[in-house]
Amino acid sequence: MNPALPSPGAAAQAFLARAHGHFIGGRWVAPLAGERFDVFDPGTGLKISTAAAGDAQDIDAAVAAARAAFTGPWAKFTAAERGKVLWKLADLVERHAQELIELEILDNGLPLPVAQYVVHHVVPDFFRYYAGWPTKIEGATIPAAPQGRRPGEVLSFTLREPLGVVGAITPWNAPLPMLMVKLAPALAAGCTLVLKPAELTPLTALRMAELCAEAGVPDGVVNVVTGLGETAGAALAAHPRVDKIAFTGSTEVGRLIVKAAVGNLKKVSLELGGKSPVIVFADAALEQVIPGAARACFFLQGQNCMAGTRLYVHEKVHDQVVAGVANIARSMQMGHGLDPASQFGPLISTEQRERVRGFVEAGRREGGELVCGGGVPSRPGYFFEPTVFARMRPDMTPVKSEIFGPVLCVQAFGDQDLERVAAEANDTIYGLSGSVWTRDIGLAMQMVRRIDSGQVSVNMHAALDPAMPFGGNKQSGWGREFGKEGLDSYLKTKGVSVAW
């Protein structure tokens, strides 16, 4: 640890000091090939732990455990019992909140208030939302008359059954929430899982596996195999005994998942990249727009699939909005997540920082006006300044690409440009989120209709709630998570007809 930082508590320290294995069949097991990899704190660049580098053999063992549990003890749980387990898991997250907050910060770099909000509210609320679902999974009776049967001679109905063994593959940008989004509905539905967290952030997934066991999840229902995407992840995606892959990550890897799934035609859900527009009309409440637009882009240092990275501002308020957002960018206190004063954390890795720097260089070369940021501060860790580019054009590299870093691209529009701004907002391969800022409800609703994305918010950005379906249009994904649709993606329907 860096002595200048507040040190994590005893529980987090003890967890970091462990030689982590995979969690398979309810116990810790060493990686079969004996390989390990280092885990780093992005806020200092220092090594904080190691994790097991899983490969196809470890995935095989985990899938076998998940298969056995699916038809074994988990199938005997009543709906109410599954609900109870999910509720207990929420309680345990709250009980171990401090440890989870510290582990998530050390693994991912997010600032303390964000980590606190995630662990105290987002995660428990999500588990409790899905704790209510198992007892409400219902089929239907159907007024069918198959093969000439008359009413009273046949009963047709549907059963809603769990899909089976789920492979969940998650990214590093929000490790605990990404895991929760798959774990909660899969357990509610009665599925079992093999989780492959991002190699850069394996820690909270490992801790959650233990908490699942403590909550009463039977052995083999939740398995965690850590390791690289191209080995452990690829083996899981291609595995013939996995029924579904629930993937969150880049559009590029999403394509690989689809190809890998072809072998046994497993179900696939994909939550992929984004390049979301934030559209500000002249009548909008600027005292809300300015902090809202800054947060839309800079939350999680821009390492956020919903990040509002393309800001379209009406020319009447353009200069005021740009100045206001740039002021916020300049004044955000950069620092290690454990430092309570920090408002803006590091990027996840040096590679990610170099990638972001490359996009900023491209923006400069192509003639963007750099209003603030763009540099790497001289301090340990993988920090990058929050960056605002104004006077951007639709064809510029930083406007077109998902940067996954704190880089905001601003473009102005005028009164006659409603159609143009909608067309430009949609001129992307992505369609995940977006927001419209105006007091004119008619205008807002026109824009809501025009924006081709899975989520649109008005006078706020990236409004998430456990009950609200979330997912991407176009190349931002397949399917929806959250809410009832999120549950449905872990269920299959069986049509049953009984004649007598």
- Decide: is 323 part of the binding site for ligand NAP (CB under 6 A): no
Q: Does 54 bind ligand NAP (CB under 6 A)?
A: no
Q: Which stretch binds ligand NAP (CB under 6 A): 222-230, 319-327, 456-464, 484-492?
A: 222-230
Of the candidates 432, 447, 462, 491, which one interacts with ligand NAP according to CB under 6 A? Answer: 432
Residue with Cβ nearer ligand NAP (300 or 334) = 300
- Kindly state the smallest distance separating residue 391's Cβ from ligand NAP, in Å: 26
Shortest separation between residue 398's beta carbon and ligand NAP, angstroms: 15
CB of 43 to ligand NAP, least distance (A): 18
Q: Which position has the token pair 């559009």? A: 251
Tokens 């397949």, located at residue:
478
183's contact among ligand NAP, Mg ion, none, with CB below 5 to 8 A by partner kind, is none
- DSSP string spanning 232-297? IIHHHHH-TT--EEEEES-HHHHHHHHHHHTTTT-EEEEE----EEEEE-TTS-HHHHHHHHHHHH
By the rule CB under 6 A, 298 interacts with ligand NAP = no
Q: Which is nearer to ligand NAP, 74 or 247 (CB)?
A: 247
Name the minimum Å distance from CB 337 to Mg ion.
Answer: 11
- The residue (of 246 and 317) whose beta carbon lies closer to ligand NAP is 246
What are the Cα distances from residue 439, in Å, to 101, 434, 445, 478?
A: 38, 17, 11, 33
Which stretch, 105-113, 144-152, 205-213, 301-309, contacts Mg ion (CB under 5 A)?
Answer: 105-113
3-state secondary structure of 115: helix
- Backbone phi and psi for residue 302, each to the nearest 5 degrees, phi listed first: 80, 0
Asked if 102 touches Mg ion (CB under 5 A), the answer is no
What ranges make up the beta strands (E) of 35-147? 36-41, 46-52, 141-142
Structure tokens at 214: 């403590």
Instruction: Name residue 270's beta-bridge partners.
Output: 247, 478
Alpha-carbon torsion angle 394, 396, 401, 402, nearest 10: -80
Give yes or no: 81 in active site: no
Binding segment toward ligand NAP, per CB under 6 A, in 37-45, 81-89, 210-218, 242-250: 242-250
Amino acid identity of 159? Answer: L
305 is a catalytic site residue? yes
Residue from 472, 479, 483, 486 that binds ligand NAP (CB under 6 A)? 472
Helices H, strands E: what count in the chain? 17, 20
Q: Which of residues 252-291 bind ligand NAP (CB under 6 A)?
A: 253, 256-257, 271-274
Report whether 282 contacts 316 (CB < 8 A): yes
CB count in 10 Å sphere of residue 28: 16
Answer with the entry of Mg ion, ligand NAP, none that 432 interacts with (C-beta below 5 to 8 A by kind). ligand NAP
229 scored as a contact of ligand NAP (CB under 6 A): yes
CB-based contact 307:299 (threshold 8 Å) = yes
Using CB under 6 A as the binding rule, whether residue 228 contacts ligand NAP is answered as: yes
Residue nearest ligand NAP, CB atom distance: 229
What is the C-alpha separation between 290 and 155, in angstroms, rounded?
Answer: 60
Q: Is 248 in the site for ligand NAP (CB under 6 A)?
A: yes
Given the rule CB under 6 A, which of 88-96, 245-253, 281-289, 391-399 is the region that contacts ligand NAP?
A: 245-253
Per the document, the length of the chain is: 500
Query: What are residue 484's phi and psi, to 5 degrees?
Result: -70, -35
**For residues 183-212, which are near ligand NAP according to CB under 6 A?**
196, 198-200
Strands 244-248 and 165-169: parallel
Beta carbons of 386 and 372 less than 8 angstroms apart: yes
Contact with ligand NAP (CB under 6 A): which of 108, 170, 438, 457?
A: 170
293 vs 386: CA distance, rounded Å? 13
Q: Extract the tokens encoding 327.
A: 């002021």
Binding Mg ion (rule: CB under 5 A), the pick from 58, 107, 424, 481 is 107
Q: Which DSSP state fits 135? A: G
Least distance (Å) between residue 232 CB and ligand NAP: 8
Instruction: Count CB-CB contacts under 10 A for residue 90.
Output: 21
Residues carrying an active site annotation: 271, 305
- The residues binding ligand NAP (CB under 6 A) are 169-173, 196, 198-200, 228-230, 233-234, 237, 248-250, 253, 256-257, 271-274, 305, 402, 404, 432, 472, 477
- The residues binding Mg ion (CB under 5 A) are 40, 107, 200
